[in-house]
Structure 1
């Protein structure tokens, strides 16, 4: 996958001048030894120039880690730590940062060997708030060398997501389709979290597409598509147009990324797209997403944003699906009840027309868009990639701006069941514990649109920290409450 941020974490140890500096030196060395033995030396840098005790040391350390190419920072309290200098370091470092602290090492060395970093972390967090500086602090941020090594490793996907967002541009084409306000949201929050957006007309895209007619790269890309589809290549006559469209998008990305390193796309696909382009873009969307350039359907800007975050955090392909339809009772009774520990209200079907990457489908075929073909000639609706989504663990999530410009998010762990969908599109039978209550009291009550991003695995812990870091209020991060824990809007006499 390309279009993916990488991080190099600079580890800077700090010390309050009335504590032995040797504590921070030795503990930093032990931390780096533990990390490299467990995770290797790639992507991490030990700042050797000084232990930060003063503002002058802070400047020296900052210059050193910048020179070393670090774009993420770990401030390590080897002892109590200098609250001013350490938080100034966080303030002036332009990138994701974390704070961790050293645990005491032995009950036999609590005189000159006691560092009091447990206390120092409180002062550090207090000073961060005074300076309005955001930083990642683990759930329990105090530990020995091995514990702290694990904390740094858990920080990597969070740091990658923050680095990605700080350098992301979302490219959109067209307004939301007619009679489709669901995915409309203010773009102000994109700027608030450091994301740029370029909004274009689909007419601009159509002009660029036409200019790619006869592009000499089309035959090679058609061959690549044929190899990917294999026996599922049921619409070979449409591949050259799809290849032309894929080249159009890729060239647009390179010509329009500007100063941004990473790109996501919010694309148009109806109502006029298929009649003018002569196909639907679903398969191309799936291919770009698999290459690390997420493409959302129906000009869903926050859907594209969510997909990008999920791609970076999971280091894997994601998809964007409608939280679409209930599982019929007869199907539940035949295929799920007694076989899996889920109620009828825990299961639903996640669907989209055909935008899910082939690697995330149990089988796939190139088909036509059945819903569109009810009112249009079938030949202009070709281009969907259809099949049942691979079974396994998933995280359903979304980052959204509300109509009144409040950042909000939800996260739910679940799984795709190995149950045949019996339907069309890119689709799967999803199971999320207590989904019925989550659907009512988070998704409906929170005013979320029907699109949700799907990461293939359980990544809720990292996503939660990313959302907190970028400023989503914790009370605005919804999740599927376990049975017996009532949502604020839930009727207690239900």
Structure 2
């Protein structure tokens, strides 16, 4: 598992001038709802005390640490002690959230009124005074069942934040010529808590050669044969691909050092094919499916984005070029009148062959068409081609500008069930208002051509992750609806 398991410690708090019993009974109701609705999430109830003071805060902190909690949910059962509860968040080393109890009944507004609605305001004020990052849900006051839902929504955010703090990105070689778009200022990675190890392609080639004849190669070849089935169009190179896969896995194990999680920024050209004798696309897709994202063209922030998507969705992701427009005749024949999208809402996402077999409607492992235009076909084998499976997707990216400022974008849409008629790992994508998003976010904010793709709609979670790790909200772009102008959009256009 190349991602953390989250254990959320729930600590209830109480203002000493309110009945402690309110926080006790409301915490019990919250935990009951959590157990009934989200038994798959590890949620721990701190039983040692209701936090009313700094001493209680220390006791609760020690208890949740001892229990192995790596995320914290502070639950305002009533107004709450603004100092003790924010000190708890300050001294807890991990992601935290604040959530508050709603009043239960109009018949209990005398001794049963908790005022947590008010207490959340003071909590947020004190968090800001202490420069403490905390996740606060869109509407953070609710019933036990609603608060359980909020904690469940916090879980993937917490998982991503924890994962980034223990991540190392391993890169091989500089960006290829004419790929300055994949520039990677290093300082923002350190600011995020991410380590980076950049290696020479020659180091990788040496390691690959040392794996010649590795006894594990036949078992990897057998896995590949079973996965590819009839799509195994180049069986003669499977042993080389298996050798390369083992090289990368051993490199990860030998080089991750004190970090727990790894992503790879790899390279496939211009010299890779002629020296290694193949392209690494299929291997990259296999590692990504196993939870170790591998980006193309040494795209370090692409690898980082893929890793975030993997951890949030707990599923395979891919990295694609925002590649080409859908031809007008193809739109008219296959999309117009069948799907609720304009021509400008559609585009084709493509990469040579890095998308995992499990995310393709069909696949063939064969040669790479673009490279084969200028090289012998036999050194371009190893790409995985097929149309990407139709369904909901989220297109997103976290990126640093040249002056080391973080920005991001998130856009939800779908892959249409439309034959691409083309090559590579490719799909026909539709994102509402994509034309405007393309111009006023992707172009205007100088994003590179690579975008990470998570399968499913994960926009809400990704947006919260980007906020939590420090991306300014004004720098998180999204595909705005028609009646919401971008700052650079001409209102008369």
**2:150 corresponds to:** 151
Q: Residue 157 of structure 1: CA displacement?
A: 0.8
Larger displacement relative to structure 2 (482-491 or 426-435): 482-491
Q: Structure 1 residue 122 and structure 2 residue 111: aligned?
A: no
Which structure 2 segments of 5+ residues have no match? none
What residue in structure 2 maps to residue 286 of structure 1?
Answer: 285
What's 1:339 paired with? Answer: 338
Q: What is the CA deviation profile of residues 76-102 of structure 1, one whole-angstrom value per residue up to 9, with x for unaligned ones? A: 001111111111110111111100001
Q: Once the two structures are superposed, what CA deviation does each residue of 1:52-84 show, in whole Å capped at 9, x if it has no partner? A: 111111111111001001001000001111111
Report deviation, 1:41: 7.0
Residues of 1 paired with 2:434 and 2:164: CA distance? 30
Secondary structure in 1 aligned to 2:93? coil
Name the counterpart of 1:21: 20
Who is 1:89 aligned against? 88
Equivalent-residue separation in structure 2 for 1:41 and 1:113 (angstroms):
32
Corresponding residue number in structure 1 for 2:306: 307
**Would you say how many aligned residue pairs link Structure 1 and Structure 2?**
493
> Contact 2:41–2:152 (CA<8 Å) still a contact in 1?
no
Q: Which residue of 2 aligns with 1:438?
A: 437
How far off its partner does 1:393 sit?
0.5
Q: For the residues of structure 1 that align with 2:271 and 2:177, how far apart are their CA atoms?
A: 10
Deviation at 1:37, TM superposition (A): 1.3
For 2:4 and 2:36, locate their aligned partners in 1 and report how far apart those are by CA, in whole Å: 24
2:67: which partner in 1? 68
Deviation at 1:334, TM superposition (A): 1.0
1:456 maps onto 2:488 in alignment: no
Task: Tell me the distance in 1 between the aligned counterparts of 2:15 and 2:190.
Answer: 37
Which sits farther off after the overlay, 334-343 or 279-288? 334-343
TM-score normalised to structure 1 length: 0.99
Residue 264 of structure 2 corresponds to residue 265 of structure 1: yes
Counterpart Cα distance in 2 of 1:42 and 1:6: 9
**Equivalent-residue separation in structure 2 for 1:468 and 1:42 (angstroms):** 23
Question: 1:325 aligned to 2:324?
Answer: yes
Q: CA deviation at 1:204?
A: 0.8
- Larger deviation, residues 159-168 vs 436-445: 159-168
Report the RMSD for the aligned CA atoms in angstroms.
Answer: 0.8
- Counterparts of 1:375 and 1:184, CA distance in 2: 26
1:413 aligned to 2:415? no
2:232 is matched with 233
* Aligned counterparts of 1:144 and 1:361: Cα–Cα separation in 2: 42
Paired with 1:420 and 1:124, the residues of 2 have a C-alpha distance of: 53
- Residue 6 of structure 2 corresponds to 7
- Tell me how far apart the structure 2 counterparts of residues 375 and 71 of structure 1 sit (CA, whole Å): 52
Residue 101 of structure 1 corresponds to 100
Q: Take 1:354 and 1:7, find their aligned partners in 2: how far apart are those partners? A: 33
- Deviation of 1:340 after TM superposition, in Å, equals 1.0
Q: CA offset at residue 108 of structure 1?
A: 1.2
C-alpha deviation, 1:178, in angstroms: 1.4
1:480 aligns with 2:471: no
Q: Does 1:468 align with 2:471?
A: no
Q: Distance in 1 between matches of 2:472 and 2:389?
A: 33
**Which runs of 5 or more structure 1 residues have no equivalent in the other structure?**
none
Deviation of residue 47 (structure 1)? 0.2
CA distance in 2, matches of 1:491, 1:152: 41
Shift of 1:484: 2.1
Q: 2:51 matched to 1:52?
A: yes
CA shift, 1:42, in A, is: 4.8
Distance 2:366 2:343 in 1: 30
